[in-house]
Structure 1
Amino acid sequence: MRIFKFGGASVKDANGVKNIVAVLQQVGHENTLVVISAMGKTTNAMEKVVTSYFEDKKTISSSLQEVIDYHESILADLFKNKNHLVYEKVKLLFEEVKGFLTWNKSPKYAFVYDQVVGYGELISTTIVSEYFKEVDMPNIWQDVRNLIKTDNTYRDASVNWERTQKEISNRIDVSQLNITQGFLGSDDNNFTTTLGREGSDYTAAILAYCLNADSVTIWKDVPGVLNADPRNFKETQLLNEISYREAIELAFYGASVIHPKTLQPLQRKEIPLHVKSFLNPKEDGTRVAKGKGISPEVPCFIVKKNQVLIKLSSLDFSFIMEDNISEIFKLFHHHRMKVDLIQNSAISFSVCLDNKFNGLQAMLNELKRKFKVVCHEDVSLYTIRHFNDKAVKSLQNGRSVLVEQRGRETVQLVVK
């Protein structure tokens, strides 16, 4: 059993869908489960629909129509027969979105977000599944919400592994080609939940773990895992082999190729992860498996942008002790602020945070009651694994370094 995951870039248009067919024809599709993300930038477009729902309901229709038009253009390129069943299936899915936005009474953004945004994956997999059938590639379309059961922490749900294992074992025929959605699950009330942005990789790992798969392959528009994101760094190098431990380190620090949650279930059963190019499927790409370090051993650069650096100090110059730090971290948890770096001294405490749930201002108001607070917004956190002096100097050049922290193998810089 193999798990293949194709992201949004691989299905951004009709040619992308056709290319997936070509990939599967080259590498085989027997005993395979394919996980597919929403098409192109659909998740962003569906987030715009949610924003319209909360901020200006008059714009819901136009926001949703943009998504409909985008998918209809892909349908028109793939299916020349306008009476094909896929048109009705996609129409019904969009009708479900409209219906939810009409009858929903919940004022909770995270709940509405999950019920709406998740349709991107349901629609993309419906289109791909039907196209596969058109080109004589029989498959079973699976609703992943029936497979992956979670709690009700909307937008960042935790997996109920026992129930998920049971559902996957009962519903997946491993002898067939199966197609399902990434990113999604469902709670005890069968409401849609999501596993966090870029959670489709995690979906693939969950399925692999529960099916005792031989491997997971993440198909990207890059040749594999690079030592830096080519969108942010000019010179990059392909990493041929990465150990689970090293990959987990890179993911923890924010390497964008592999989702942070993806590796733990794979490591537990020693299921190898391949990261390969859907443009050149015969190339080796990167293999993540049991082993030592990385090959070749070169500095790896990671950047997290739009971070917040907060420097706290006591109002009376007293020490910041364990009780203060405990209180501070409770606030981080309450306001859903992800901690990416910590540095402290006797009377000060600095922390770099990801404000992805927009809890910053409310948290700052609480912190200012007990601490002197200096806040730097829109900073970048750079991490270099296996650093050397040349690598560090390349990042320091022309930048204002607010915090620097060094370990034996890792250096981190917060820069403005």
Structure 2
Amino acid sequence: MRVFKFGGASVKDAAGIKNVYSVLQQVGYEDVLVIVSAMGKTTNALEEVIKNYFDKSLELNSSVQEVKKYHNQILMDLFEDENNEVFAAVNTQFADLEYFLAHNKSPNYNFVYDQIVSYGELISTTILSNFMTFMGIKTQWLDVRNFIKTDATYRDAEVDWELTQKNISKNIKRKILNITQGFLGSDENNFTTTLGREGSDYTAAIFAYCLNAESVTIWKDVPGVMNADPRYFENASLLNQISYREAIELAFYGASVIHPKTLQPLQKKEIPLYVKSFINPLLKGTAVSKGVDLEPYLPCFIVKRNQLLISLSSIDFSFIMEENISEIFGLFHQYKLKVNLIQNSAISFSVCVEDKFGNFNDCNAILSKKFKVDFTESVTLYTIRHFNEQAAQTVEDNKTVLLKQVSRETMQIVTKEN
């Protein structure tokens, strides 16, 4: 079987749904399992519902109605007949959501988050499956929560591989088009769980692994994986081939290639992953598979903006030793400061961190008691894999370089705009 994953951008409106049908017509849909995300910005809209629910906001009902209205418009644009059973199916799902909001007793934010946000995927797949049937393609709609079983770590659940393997092996019909949800699973009590960051891509990898799939294809609005973000670099080039190892390295440094947890199950069984364009589905795209690390062999640029460069030195000029570093990292972990670069000398220690949760001031208050702390806000961290002199020059031009670190394959440069 082949496993396809369509993200929110590919199903954001009726035209997107029709385009998925067109893609399947061009590339074939026998022996295919399609994983689908929530439509467009639905997850964000449902997060607003969750916020209003916990704030006991008077806006709760109107935020639910906004989500309803958005999906109803797509239904109206796709189906001529309002009596089509898909309208009733989607209404039932919204009724279930409203019932949960009215009757839930759990104060656990993460639990509530997973129960509510899951409706995005359940509704998008219901609409897509019904449209395929409407267009004459026989489909099987699957509730992914009956297949992917997890622990009860809501919002970042761990997969129970043994049970999941058993469920998928026994219950997937081949020879027809299967459609299911990305991002979701369920715990032993059948409560909905979600799989964390890049969860839909991970879902595709889980099914591929358990089905011994021929391949996984992630359909995007770009021709494949580029060696740089075209928003920041003028001459970004398409990468034809990336090895699993190289893709994991790029992801580690922050490239939005593919999350390592998606690649790991595929690498185990050497199942190739393709990143292709849903606008031009017959183009080759990028293959992440066993083989050469990178083709063509080019420097790859990864940009992380709004970073914080922190330099710590001992107040009495003594060495910064292992126990100091351990303590510093303990504080970074406690205050959720994500470390992206480390450089140390005998009496100083520098890190480039991401302060996503705005906790640095609290952390700094503790650090300042034991260390001299200097920091620069709003810096940019550039990582260049397979760097050369020209690539470094491209990054350094018209910027102040605050820190540079070079290893065999990778150069990292922290800069401030002039």
Residue matched to 1:214: 214
Q: 1:367-406 alignment to 2 at 5 Å?
A: 367-406=367-406
Residue matched to 2:60: 60
Q: Are 1:403 and 1:413, in contact at CA under 8 Å, matched by a contact in 2? A: yes
- What letter matches 1:282 in structure 2? L
Q: C-alpha offsets along residues 31-86 of structure 1, whole Å, 9 cap, x if unaligned?
A: 11001111112122222222323346222222222222111111110112112221
Q: Are 1:241 and 1:286, in contact at CA under 8 Å, matched by a contact in 2? A: yes
Query: Hey, what's the Cα distance between the residues in 2 that align with 1:240 and 1:271?
Result: 16
Query: Hey, what's the Cα distance between the residues in 1 that align with 2:214 and 2:185?
Result: 23
Q: 1:255-270 alignment to 2 at 5 Å?
A: 255-270=255-270
Secondary structure class of the residue paired with 1:279 = coil
Query: Hey, what's the Cα distance between the residues in 2 that align with 1:152 and 1:362?
Result: 31
- What letter matches 2:91 in structure 1? K
Higher alpha-carbon deviation: 249-258 or 239-248: 249-258
- What letter matches 1:91 in structure 2? N
Residue matched to 1:124: 124
Could you list the structure 1 runs, at least 4 aligned residues long, displaced by more than 6 angstroms after superposition.
none
In the TM superposition, what is the alpha-carbon distance from 1:25 to its structure 2 partner?
A: 0.9
Query: Hey, what's the Cα distance between the residues in 1 that align with 2:231 and 2:56?
Result: 34
In structure 2, do the counterparts of structure 1 residues 292 and 157 end up closer, same or farther at CA, with 3 Å as the change threshold? same
Residue matched to 2:4: 4
Query: Hey, what's the Cα distance between the residues in 2 that align with 1:122 and 1:233?
Result: 38
Q: 1:269-288 alignment to 2 at 5 Å?
A: 269-288=269-288
Secondary structure class of the residue paired with 1:57 = coil
In structure 2, do the counterparts of structure 1 residues 344 and 107 end up closer, same or farther at CA, with 3 Å as the change threshold? farther
Give the number of aligned pairs.
Answer: 416
- What letter matches 2:192 in structure 1? T
In structure 2, do the counterparts of structure 1 residues 42 and 216 end up closer, same or farther at CA, with 3 Å as the change threshold? same
Q: Are 1:199 and 1:259, in contact at CA under 8 Å, matched by a contact in 2? A: no
- What letter matches 1:39 in structure 2? M
Residue matched to 2:295: 295
Structure 2: segments with no counterpart, 5+ residues: none
Higher alpha-carbon deviation: 356-365 or 137-146: 356-365
Secondary structure class of the residue paired with 1:131 = helix
In structure 2, do the counterparts of structure 1 residues 358 and 58 end up closer, same or farther at CA, with 3 Å as the change threshold? farther
Q: C-alpha offsets along residues 90-130 of structure 1, whole Å, 9 cap, x if unaligned?
A: 22222333333333344443333222222211111111011
In structure 2, do the counterparts of structure 1 residues 85 and 114 end up closer, same or farther at CA, with 3 Å as the change threshold? same
Q: Are 1:215 and 1:273, in contact at CA under 8 Å, matched by a contact in 2? A: yes
In structure 2, do the counterparts of structure 1 residues 300 and 108 end up closer, same or farther at CA, with 3 Å as the change threshold? same
Q: 1:196-215 alignment to 2 at 5 Å?
A: 196-215=196-215
In the TM superposition, what is the alpha-carbon distance from 1:179 to its structure 2 partner?
A: 0.7
- What letter matches 1:312 in structure 2? L
Residue matched to 1:146: 146
In structure 2, do the counterparts of structure 1 residues 306 and 211 end up closer, same or farther at CA, with 3 Å as the change threshold? farther
In structure 2, do the counterparts of structure 1 residues 308 and 56 end up closer, same or farther at CA, with 3 Å as the change threshold? farther
- What letter matches 1:223 in structure 2? P
In the TM superposition, what is the alpha-carbon distance from 1:388 to its structure 2 partner?
A: 1.5
In structure 2, do the counterparts of structure 1 residues 49 and 357 end up closer, same or farther at CA, with 3 Å as the change threshold? farther
Q: 1:160-199 alignment to 2 at 5 Å?
A: 160-199=160-199
Residue matched to 2:351: 351
Residue matched to 2:247: 247
In structure 2, do the counterparts of structure 1 residues 97 and 297 end up closer, same or farther at CA, with 3 Å as the change threshold? same
Q: C-alpha offsets along residues 338-362 of structure 1, whole Å, 9 cap, x if unaligned?
A: 4322222223333333444665555
In the TM superposition, what is the alpha-carbon distance from 1:366 to its structure 2 partner?
A: 4.8
- What letter matches 2:179 in structure 1? I
- What letter matches 1:285 in structure 2? G
Residue matched to 1:16: 16
Q: Are 1:319 and 1:347, in contact at CA under 8 Å, matched by a contact in 2? A: yes
In structure 2, do the counterparts of structure 1 residues 355 and 222 end up closer, same or farther at CA, with 3 Å as the change threshold? same
Percent sequence identity is 64
- Confirm whether residue 82 of structure 1 aligns to residue 82 of structure 2: yes
- Confirm whether residue 49 of structure 1 aligns to residue 58 of structure 2: no
Secondary structure class of the residue paired with 2:17 = helix
Structure 1: segments with no counterpart, 5+ residues: none
In the TM superposition, what is the alpha-carbon distance from 1:315 to its structure 2 partner?
A: 4.2
TM-score, normalisation: structure 1 = 0.92
